[in-house]
C-alpha cells in the first residue's frame, strides 16, 4: 500500500428507498457518500416489489458517484461491506444472472392466505428459526415464485435456478467471482434457516415444498465473499449482513442495557442477547456469527414507519408531510389516534391484514402527527412486551431516516421514561457496517455529538397511548 494514500472502508447500504455507498476513514469519519434512489411498485393490495435490475443499477450508480468523489488515485479501499434489506428475496438464472422474479420486498404479504394453512406448525417454526409464522419472511415468497412464475419453474427443471435473500443476488451481480453465498443474518429471515445447525433446515424445506439446491451456501458474517472491481480497484468484500443487524454496531459493540431502535421504512427495536433465547410474540434474530463471536437479539417490528407516512401522503396529496412534520410535532395539539397496520401489523400484535384507520378526526396536519405518534406507540408496545422477558433497558439508542424528527424522539423519551440518544450520523446501518469492517475500534466511539432527549412529563401522550392499546387489542381479538 502506498503509505501516502489514506485508507478507507467501503460500505454499500441497500435500503428500501435508495442505495448508498459510503467511504469511512480509518479514524472513523464518513469522508464521502453518494446515493441513488430505487422505485417501489405495488401491483396489487399487499404486494410490494422492486425491479432487480433497478436495484443493481442504483448500487452501481452510488458506487460510481462515490468513486468519482474520491478520485482515481487518492485513496486505498481496504475492504468492503454490504448491508441489505432483510427478508426481501430474488430468483435468478444461475448461468446468466438474469433475474427471474422481482425483488419481493420484506413488506410483501401476497402469500398470507396460503401461509395460514401452516398455523399448526407455528410453534415448531419458532423453535427452529426464532421467527413467528409470517408472510413477511422468505419461505412463502419462494414458494409463490415456484408456483406462479414459469421462468422460475423452467430454471428449476433445467438445473439453472438460484434464489435467496436480496444480499445473495447482489453479491452474485457485483462480485467478480459471482458467488452464491449468504450470511447468517439474511439467511435467518427466510424462515428456513436452523439457528442451531446454522444451515437450511431440511424439515422446513420439505414442509414448504422447496428444493434445497437453489439456495446459497451459508457462511459466517465476516469472511471473504469475493471481490468488488471498479476500474483498477479490486476490493475484498469482507462482510455481508442485514441492515438492522449492522445498525446494532453503529456506536461500537452493542450493550445489553440499551434498546436499539432504527426508524426507516419500518421501525425495528432490538435488545442484544448473547444466546438463543425464545420468547412469545417476539423474534429471536441472528445478528452475527463469526470471528469467534455470536450475537442474537430479541426483536420487535413495526412495519409502518416511513411507509406509513408515505401512505398518508397518498391520502392527502396536497399536504407536504415530509418537510412539515417536525414543525407539526412541535405544536401543542390533541391529535386523533391512528391504528397503524401499514404493511401488516407486526409485534407484539401480529395481524398481517390489519385495516389501518383513524379513531377521531382532525385537520390533515393533526392526522400526520397521529401517524407519527402511532410509530412511537407501537415501539412502546414492544418495549412493554419485552419487559416481561429481559431486564428493562437504561436508555434508547435511535437511528434511521425518521430519527431526524426531534418531536418523534422526544415523544419516545416521554412515553418510555428513558433517555433517547441520537447520533449526529443517523445512518446507523452504514456506520455499523463500517464499525464491523474496522473491528469496532474504541477510538471510533463518541466521535460525533449525540443529541440527548430526556424524558418529560406528558400525561396526554400517555393517555393516547393507553387508548391506542385498548383499540388495538379490541381490533385483533
SS3 of 431-447: the string is HHHHHHHHCCCHHHCCC
Q: What are phi and psi for residue 372, nearest 5 degrees?
A: -65, -45
Element (H, E) at 285: strand 283-290
Asked if residue 74 has pLDDT above 80, the reply is: no
**Pairing label, strands 337-339, 357-359:** antiparallel
pTM of the model: 0.91
Q: Alpha-carbon distance 201 to 183, whole Å?
A: 15
Listing DSSP states for 101-161 in one string gives S-EE-TT--TTHHHHGGGGGGHHHHHHHHS--S-TTSHHHHHHHHHHH-HHHHHHHHTT-E
Which three three-digit cell numbers place residue 2? Answer: 502506498
Give the chain's mean pLDDT: 93
Asked if residue 1 has pLDDT above 60, the reply is: no
Asked if residue 426 has pLDDT above 90, the reply is: no
Q: Which pLDDT value is given to residue 3?
A: 53
Q: Which domains does the chain have, with CATH numbers?
A: 7-241 (3.30.420.40), 252-422+447-477 (3.30.420.40)
Range of weakest confidence among 232-236, 350-354, 394-398, 440-444: 440-444
Task: Encode pLDDT of 217-236 as tens digits.
Answer: 999 999 999 999 988 889 99
- Alpha-carbon separation of residue 334 from 170, 190, 321, 327 (angstroms): 46, 41, 18, 15
Q: Angle 266-52-37 (CA atoms, 0-180°, nearest 5)?
A: 55
Q: What are phi and psi for residue 227, nearest 5 degrees?
A: -130, 135
Task: Encode pLDDT of 304-331 as tens digits.
Answer: 999 999 999 998 887 788 889 999 999 9
**pLDDT class of 448 with cuts at 50, 70, 90:** low
Place of cell 453503529: 250
The tally of CA atoms less than 13 A away on the side-chain side of residue 291 is 16
Amino acid at each position: 500500500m502506498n503509505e501516502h494514500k489514506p485508507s478507507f472502508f467501503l460500505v454499500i447500504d441497500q435500503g428500501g428507498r435508495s442505495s448508498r455507498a459510503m467511504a469511512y476513514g480509518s479514524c472513523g469519519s464518513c469522508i464521502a457518500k453518494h446515493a441513488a434512489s430505487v422505485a417501489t411498485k405495488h401491483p396489487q393490495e399487499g404486494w410490494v416489489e422492486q425491479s432487480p435490475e433497478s436495484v443493481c443499477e442504483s448500487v452501481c450508480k452510488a458506487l460510481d458517484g462515490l468513486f468519482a468523489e474520491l478520485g482515481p488515485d487518492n485513496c486505498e479501499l481496504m475492504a468492503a461491506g454490504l448491508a441489505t434489506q432483510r427478508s426481501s428475496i430474488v430468483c435468478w438464472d444461475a448461468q446468466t444472472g438474469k433475474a427471474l422474479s422481482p425483488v419481493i420486498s420484506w413488506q410483501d404479504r401476497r402469500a398470507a392466505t396460503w401461509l395460514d394453512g401452516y398455523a399448526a406448525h407455528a410453534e415448531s417454526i419458532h423453535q427452529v428459526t426464532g421467527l413467528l409464522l409470517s408472510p413477511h419472511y422468505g419461505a412463502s415468497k419462494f414458494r409463490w415464485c415456484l408456483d406462479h412464475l414459469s421462468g422460475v419453474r423452467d430454471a428449476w427443471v433445467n438445473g439453472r435456478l438460484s434464489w435467496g435473500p436480496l444480499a445473495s443476488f447482489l453479491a452474485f451481480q457485483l462480485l467478480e467471482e459471482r458467488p452464491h453465498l449468504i450470511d447468517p443474518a439474511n439467511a435467518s429471515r427466510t424462515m428456513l434457516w436452523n439457528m442451531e445447525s446454522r444451515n437450511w433446515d431440511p424439515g422446513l424445506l420439505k414442509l414448504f415444498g422447496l428444493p434445497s439446491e437453489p439456495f446459497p451456501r451459508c457462511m459466517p458474517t465476516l469472511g471473504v465473499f469475493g471481490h468488488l472491481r471498479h476500474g483498477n480497484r479490486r476490493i475484498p468484500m469482507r462482510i455481508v449482513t442485514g441492515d438492522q443487524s449492522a445498525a446494532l454496531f453503529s456506536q461500537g459493540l452493542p450493550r445489553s442495557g440499551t434498546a436499539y431502535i432504527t426508524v426507516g421504512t419500518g421501525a425495528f427495536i432490538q435488545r442484544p442477547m448473547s444466546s438463543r433465547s425464545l420468547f412469545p410474540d417476539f423474534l429471536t434474530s441472528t445478528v452475527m456469527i463469526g470471528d469467534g463471536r455470536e450475537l442474537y437479539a430479541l426483536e420487535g417490528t413495526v412495519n409502518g414507519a416511513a411507509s406509513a407516512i408515505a401512505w398518508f401522503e397518498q391520502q392527502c396529496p396536497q399536504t407536504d408531510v415530509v418537510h412539515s412534520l417536525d414543525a407539526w410535532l412541535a405544536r401543542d395539539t390533541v391529535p386523533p389516534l391512528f391504528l397503524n397496520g401499514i404493511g401488516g401489523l407486526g409485534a407484539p400484535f401480529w395481524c398481517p391484514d390489519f385495516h389501518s384507520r383513524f379513531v377521531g378526526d382532525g385537520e390533515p396536519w393533526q392526522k400526520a402527527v397521529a401517524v407519527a405518534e402511532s410509530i412511537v406507540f407501537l415501539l412502546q408496545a414492544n418495549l412493554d412486551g419485552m419487559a416481561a422477558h429481559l431486564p428493562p433497558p437504561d436508555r434508547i439508542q435511535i437511528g434511521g431516516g425518521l430519527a431526524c424528527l426531534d418531536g418523534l424522539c422526544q415523544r419516545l423519551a416521554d412515553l418510555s421514561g428513558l433517555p433517547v440518544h441520537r447520533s449526529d450520523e443517523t445512518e446507523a446501518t452504514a456506520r455499523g457496517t463500517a464499525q464491523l469492517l474496522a473491528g469496532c475500534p474504541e477510538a471510533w466511539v463518541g466521535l460525533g455529538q449525540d443529541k440527548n432527549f430526556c424524558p418529560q412529563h406528558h400525561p396526554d401522550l400517555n393517555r393516547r397511548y393507553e387508548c391506542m392499546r385498548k383499540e388495538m387489542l379490541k381490533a385483533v381479538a
